[in-house]
Chains A and B, each alone.
Chain A
Amino acid sequence: MSPPITSQSRYETVIGLEVHAQMRTRSKIFCGCATQFGAEANTQICPICAAFPGVLPVLNREVVNMAIKTGLAIQGQIRLLSEFSRKNYFYPDLPAGYQISQYELPIVEHGQLVIASPLDQGPKKIGITRIHMEVDAGKSLHEGIQGASWVDLNRTGTPLMEIVSEPDLRSAAEAGEYLKKLRAIVRYLGVCDGNMEEGSFRCDANVSIRLRGAPILGTRCELKNLNSIRNVMRAIDYEVERQIELIDNGDSVIQETRLWNADLNSSRAMRGKEDAHDYRYFPEPDLPPLRLTPERIAAVAATLPELPDAKAERFRTQYQLSDYDAGVLTASQELADYFEAVAQQAATLGQPNPKVAANWVMVELGGRLNKENWDIQQTPIPAHHLGQLVAMIQQGILSGKTAKELFEILFTEGGDPLQIVERKGLRQVTNSTAIEEAVDQVLAAHPEDVAQYHAGKTKVIGFLVGQIMKRTQGKANPALVNQLLQARLTRQE
């Protein structure tokens, strides 16, 4: 595939994203059934989720609170009056034959989200048109079943938020940044687990291109089945290339819905504009209009946690971290909490140096977790243990090498850091007599290198230091080794 269009290209990409986020409520949006994932098919259903005759929906208050929370987090306007509507279409996994959603009056409007734009190298505001609440459908199973389809209604009734962006995104990379930011926010808020693979955070992308500077938008295609941020970006790049090729060949883009196939790295047309459903939206007569009071919104606002942007800002000032470090460490609430616990533990034991703590969390621990394909919640090292490790570095008890050794033991076996240091003799040798002894032994063993040094080849000093460290099993303080070695060589001159 050719590279995505750059800022030099004659075309501009225009992207709007629709995200469906499953809300993490205990019960469903309109009945008391559990929302738990992975139960046996059709065991978490009742006459209401199965749309039996005569049953009625009752709105889950927690769903409304979560939508308000999310709306506030993206600086949206919370409507005091919103309403539910029915979106009518037939499908076996939609038991009522309509989806209860919000249409003309959604609960949240006019929000925004700031991303670090990869193209402009600066922060960029992405408008969020609306957030509305709706109900998820069940699942139809077709594979491996002959002459029939099976329907699992467990998911039916799971609350969703649909978060619709303005067409403000200009590249796949920006779309990726937007999704990461949005996902971080819903996770911080605890309103959605953000798991794209399991489908609890789903994204459709509307993509069009136009000549740079053109006043109107080009014809868009909607991309579906994008089950990771990487796939969203790949599918957008593919779609942009496809549209450029069409236009460059004198064809035009047809408005359609396209299904992304991650295995084939391509998309195919699913349905055209003419096949689009007429959903016959109308206000849901079984639910009265939703009226909110400023007091209720204020009560929800009081429960908002510190959000990623605010937290990153605090990390920059409180811990003197770089923009990059602050951004990485606040990507998730759990990582940020972990870092703060490490930094705090290290600070109580020694001189605070949050930069060292940040490096150990991001580089050593982050790299090791990546290797195992684990996330921060799965770390085998409790934050206070890593904090002790950082403190011991700052106190000169551990060298870089012994610290890594301790880290590996903590990661694979666990245990009390101090006890491990003592048991394994990892404590750095700062006793100059012991080091001097090693220096003498090494100089005696390598007379030609000493001669080379005196002949002006001072580079050999590195080799000699290495030999001394080896002899002290890495426990010698490297600074002290250097100092003593230099002194001894000078004396020999």
Chain B
Amino acid sequence: MDLSHLSLAQAADLLRKRSLSAVELTRFFLERIATDNAALNAYITVDEAGALQAAQAADDRLARGEATPLTGIPLAIKDLFCTQGLRTTCASRMLANFHPPYESTVTRRLKEAGAVVLGKTNMDEFAMGSSNETSFFGPARNPWGHDRIPGGSSGGSAAAVAAGLCLAALGTDTGGSIRQPAAMTGITGLKPTYGRVSRFGMIAFASSLDQAGPMTRSVEDAALLLQTMAGHDPLDSTSIDAPVPAYWDDLTTGVPAAERVKNMRIGIPAEYFADGLAAPVRQAVEQAIATFQDLGAHCQPVSLPCTAYAIPTYYVIAPAEASSNLARYDGVRFGHRCADPLDLRDMYARTRSEGFGAEVKRRIMLGTYVLSSGYYDAYYRKAQKVRRLIADDFRAAFAQVDLLLTPTAPETAFRIGEKNDDPVRMYLSDIFTINVNLAGLPGLSLPCGFDEHPLPIGLQLIGRPLQEATLLAAGHAFQQATDWHQRRPS
């Protein structure tokens, strides 16, 4: 039996019936990682001892009959969630040997539910990138073509899920970092509403945009993880204090998704189908629109006029916040410190020059500039105003429709190295996902086809604030009607 592509529910069922032990399942994945990770570079750190210990505890818990559906489920965690005692690098030389003395709220919740952490996955340094190429530990590779990027910044998590090096993974999404790699690797990725999931213990890139979410092989799996991850956290003042629906139970035992999708109004924003969209992506997404119509949804054109301002707005706000968030890496208390500093200024300058890679430095400089006296109004304040206009666009659209359907990314996975010399071209990879972060909305990326290589294509569903359940229902109905999510790389 191939355990590598079990759904979470199947795995939970086998574990509960004791036809498979958590230790066996964990060992299976540890062995796969030992064999395949060298080629994919999906994991930065594999925690064999910790995983086996957690698996043993899960087996004990299963034996006591106190298991949750996540007990004994092996997960991969993006390496920016702080895991107590387990190295957390953010794929940066700055934190290459950082062992947090505390646990992120999200990983704590998953661990408390009995999940097993296999290790920490590769990513763009401090989540800054769309290709995983800015990682201090080298790029992760796309299981659909090892010369291709797996997307970013959660590229390692995407690659691990697509290649069956875990059952599911955690990612984070600041401008598309869950959805874009999900599209690049043919998996399902959900960025929840800003504030739906606690950010405590998630190493910050841009605080007003960062959000954690599940990266899985199906919508159903994503629902199961979200159900445990979501919820108010007293340690995160920006987390929303609203009840958490039983996303997975509702999906599997509630009104059937096929029923719920009937008569759903789906908006197709014209601005997302403009020139720059690769032909195979356009075709696949249009095919998906047809599928939704077949399922009984009403698809109608809508307009989001401020779409074009997404990239410039994002590249003011996100670097501004990052320039401040990353000031704490000064070599004083933790992380990298340069050798033999001459004085304080020298220590700061060399520690940060050595510890950060080029993309991180670029964004720190950008952010410092836009917040500088004399430039603040022209850049940061203006960007905040545009951000509000972008959110208004979505609000207006959601007065007419229940959700929006767009391509996740303008093209399929490009070659490693292809866009390294042109940051702006790289930034355009997130052109369809960034606005969702700026507006704080939930977004779900689903596999919807392949190009000629074949490389996966993703579609994006965008919902109203806190309407993850609607996205999940639509996505689940789509996956029941299609098999794109079941394709595997050879």
**Residues of chain A from 25 to 84 with CB closer than 8 A to chain B in the complex:** 47, 50-59
Residue A98 interfacial (CB < 8 Å): yes
* Contact across chains for B203 and A53 when beta carbons are under 8 A apart: yes
Chain B residues with Cβ below 8 Å from A151 are 332
Q: Which of B88, B235, B327 contacts A98 (CB 8 A)?
A: B327
Q: Which of B100, B206, B368 contacts A52 (CB 8 A)?
A: B100
Chain A residues with Cβ below 8 Å from B324 are 86, 88, 97-98, 280, 282
* Contact across chains for A282 and B320 when beta carbons are under 8 A apart: yes
Residue A218 interfacial (CB < 8 Å): no
Q: Which of B81, B102, B200, B332 contacts A95 (CB 8 A)?
A: B332
Chain B residues with Cβ below 8 Å from A54 are 80-82, 100, 104, 199-204
How far is the CB of A39 from the nearest CB of chain B, in Å? 18
Q: Which of A47, A52, A97, A285 contacts B327 (CB 8 A)?
A: A97
Residue A92 interfacial (CB < 8 Å): yes
Interface size on A, residues (CB 8 A): 29
Residue A448 interfacial (CB < 8 Å): no
Which residue of chain A has the shortest Cβ distance to B204 in the bound complex? A54
**Residue of B95, B104, B344 contacting most chain A CB atoms (<10 Å):** B344
* Contact across chains for A288 and B238 when beta carbons are under 8 A apart: yes
Chain B residues with Cβ below 8 Å from A281 are 371, 376
Which residue of chain A has the shortest Cβ distance to B234 in the bound complex? A58
Question: Do A97 and B328 form a contact, CB below 8 Å, given A53-B88, A288-B237?
Answer: yes
Chain A residues with Cβ below 8 Å from B330 are 90, 92, 97
**Residues of chain B from 200 to 244 with CB closer than 8 A to chain A in the complex:** 200-204, 206-208, 234-238
The main secondary structure of chain A at its interface with chain B is: loop
How far is the CB of B40 from the nearest CB of chain A, in Å? 26
* Contact across chains for B101 and A47 when beta carbons are under 8 A apart: yes
**Residue of A51, A54, A97, A151 contacting most chain B CB atoms (<10 Å):** A54
Residue A468 interfacial (CB < 8 Å): no
* Contact across chains for B328 and A53 when beta carbons are under 8 A apart: yes
Chain A residues with Cβ below 8 Å from B202 are 54
**Residue of A52, A88, A149, A280 contacting most chain B CB atoms (<10 Å):** A280
**Residue of B81, B98, B203, B327 contacting most chain A CB atoms (<10 Å):** B327
Q: Which of A52, A57, A88 contacts B237 (CB 8 A)?
A: A57
**Residues of chain B from 324 to 382 with CB closer than 8 A to chain A in the complex:** 324, 327-330, 332-334, 344, 348, 368, 371-373, 376, 380
Residue B173 interfacial (CB < 8 Å): no
* Contact across chains for B371 and A282 when beta carbons are under 8 A apart: yes
* Contact across chains for B90 and A53 when beta carbons are under 8 A apart: yes
**Residue of B100, B237, B376 contacting most chain A CB atoms (<10 Å):** B237
Which residue of chain A has the shortest Cβ distance to B380 in the bound complex? A282
Q: Which of A90, A287, A288 contacts B348 (CB 8 A)?
A: A90
How far is the CB of B94 from the nearest CB of chain A, in Å? 9
Question: Do A53 and B98 form a contact, CB below 8 Å, given A90-B330, A97-B330, A282-B371?
Answer: yes
* Contact across chains for B235 and A51 when beta carbons are under 8 A apart: no
Chain B residues with Cβ below 8 Å from A90 are 327, 330, 348
Residue A286 interfacial (CB < 8 Å): yes
Q: Considering the chains assembled together, what is the distance between the CA atoms of A19 and B208 in angstroms?
A: 32
* Contact across chains for A92 and B327 when beta carbons are under 8 A apart: no
Q: Considering the chains assembled together, what is the distance between the CA atoms of A95 and B200 in angstroms?
A: 18
Residue A96 interfacial (CB < 8 Å): yes
Residue A278 interfacial (CB < 8 Å): yes
Chain A residues with Cβ below 8 Å from B101 are 47, 52
How far is the CB of B303 from the nearest CB of chain A, in Å? 29
**Residues of chain B from 92 to 128 with CB closer than 8 A to chain A in the complex:** 95, 98, 100-102, 104
Residue B321 interfacial (CB < 8 Å): yes
Chain A residues with Cβ below 8 Å from B90 are 53
Which residue of chain A has the shortest Cβ distance to B95 in the bound complex? A53
* Contact across chains for A58 and B237 when beta carbons are under 8 A apart: yes
* Contact across chains for A56 and B327 when beta carbons are under 8 A apart: no
Which residue of chain A has the shortest Cβ distance to B331 in the bound complex? A92
Which residue of chain A has the shortest Cβ distance to B80 in the bound complex? A54
Which residue of chain B has the shortest Cβ distance to A286 in the bound complex? B207
Chain A residues with Cβ below 8 Å from B332 are 92, 95, 151
Q: Which of A52, A149, A287 contacts B334 (CB 8 A)?
A: A52
How far is the CB of B296 from the nearest CB of chain A, in Å? 40
Which residue of chain B has the shortest Cβ distance to A276 in the bound complex? B373
Q: Considering the chains assembled together, what is the distance between the CA atoms of A52 and B94 in angstroms?
A: 13
* Contact across chains for A285 and B102 when beta carbons are under 8 A apart: no
Q: Considering the chains assembled together, what is the distance between the CA atoms of A88 and B81 in angstroms?
A: 25
Q: Considering the chains assembled together, what is the distance between the CA atoms of A58 and B234 in angstroms?
A: 8
Q: Considering the chains assembled together, what is the distance between the CA atoms of A286 and B376 in angstroms?
A: 19
Q: Which of B199, B236, B344, B371 contacts A280 (CB 8 A)?
A: B371
Chain A residues with Cβ below 8 Å from B371 are 88, 280-282
Chain A residues with Cβ below 8 Å from B321 are 282, 285
Question: Do A55 and B102 form a contact, CB below 8 Å, given A96-B328, A97-B328, A286-B237?
Answer: yes
How far is the CB of A41 from the nearest CB of chain B, in Å? 14
**Residue of A51, A59, A151 contacting most chain B CB atoms (<10 Å):** A51
* Contact across chains for B328 and A280 when beta carbons are under 8 A apart: no
Question: Do A52 and B102 form a contact, CB below 8 Å, given A58-B234, A90-B327, A90-B330?
Answer: yes
Q: Considering the chains assembled together, what is the distance between the CA atoms of A88 and B369 in angstroms?
A: 13
Q: Considering the chains assembled together, what is the distance between the CA atoms of A55 and B373 in angstroms?
A: 28
0 or 1 for each of A90-122: is its CB under 8 Å from B? (1 = yes): 101001111000000000000000000000000
Chain A residues with Cβ below 8 Å from B348 are 90
How far is the CB of B172 from the nearest CB of chain A, in Å? 11
Chain B residues with Cβ below 8 Å from A285 are 206-208, 238, 321
Q: Considering the chains assembled together, what is the distance between the CA atoms of A72 and B380 in angstroms?
A: 34
Q: Considering the chains assembled together, what is the distance between the CA atoms of A90 and B364 in angstroms?
A: 14
Q: Considering the chains assembled together, what is the distance between the CA atoms of A466 and B328 in angstroms?
A: 79
Which residue of chain B has the shortest Cβ distance to A31 in the bound complex? B235
Chain B residues with Cβ below 8 Å from A58 are 234-237
Q: Considering the chains assembled together, what is the distance between the CA atoms of A206 and B118 in angstroms?
A: 59
Q: Considering the chains assembled together, what is the distance between the CA atoms of A56 and B368 in angstroms?
A: 21
Q: Considering the chains assembled together, what is the distance between the CA atoms of A95 and B331 in angstroms?
A: 10
How far is the CB of B367 from the nearest CB of chain A, in Å? 9
Question: Do A59 and B104 form a contact, CB below 8 Å, given A96-B327, A98-B324, A285-B207?
Answer: no
How far is the CB of A119 from the nearest CB of chain B, in Å? 38
**Residues of chain B from 51 to 87 with CB closer than 8 A to chain A in the complex:** 80-82
**Residue of A58, A98, A281, A282 contacting most chain B CB atoms (<10 Å):** A282
0 or 1 for each of B398-435: is its CB under 8 Å from A? (1 = yes): 00000000000000000000000000000000000000
Chain A residues with Cβ below 8 Å from B208 are 285
0 or 1 for each of A268-293: is its CB under 8 Å from B? (1 = yes): 00000000001011100111100000
* Contact across chains for A56 and B320 when beta carbons are under 8 A apart: no
Q: Considering the chains assembled together, what is the distance between the CA atoms of A47 and B98 in angstroms?
A: 13
Q: Considering the chains assembled together, what is the distance between the CA atoms of A282 and B383 in angstroms?
A: 12
Chain B residues with Cβ below 8 Å from A56 are 199-200, 235-238
How far is the CB of B334 from the nearest CB of chain A, in Å? 7
Chain A residues with Cβ below 8 Å from B344 are 92, 149
How far is the CB of B345 from the nearest CB of chain A, in Å? 9
The 9 A-B residue pairs with the shortest CB-CB distance in the complex, in nearest-first order = A97-B327, A285-B207, A280-B371, A285-B208, A53-B203, A54-B203, A51-B328, A54-B201, A278-B373
Q: Name 17 extra pairs, CB < 8 A, besides A52-B101, A56-B238, A95-B333.
A: A47-B100, A52-B82, A53-B328, A53-B334, A54-B100, A54-B204, A55-B102, A55-B201, A56-B237, A88-B327, A88-B371, A97-B328, A97-B330, A286-B238, A287-B238, A288-B237, A288-B238
28 residue pairs A–B, Cβ–Cβ below 8 Å: A47-B100, A47-B102, A51-B328, A52-B328, A52-B334, A53-B98, A54-B80, A54-B100, A54-B199, A54-B202, A54-B204, A55-B201, A56-B199, A56-B236, A58-B235, A92-B330, A92-B344, A96-B327, A97-B324, A97-B330, A278-B373, A280-B323, A280-B372, A282-B324, A285-B207, A285-B238, A286-B204, A286-B238
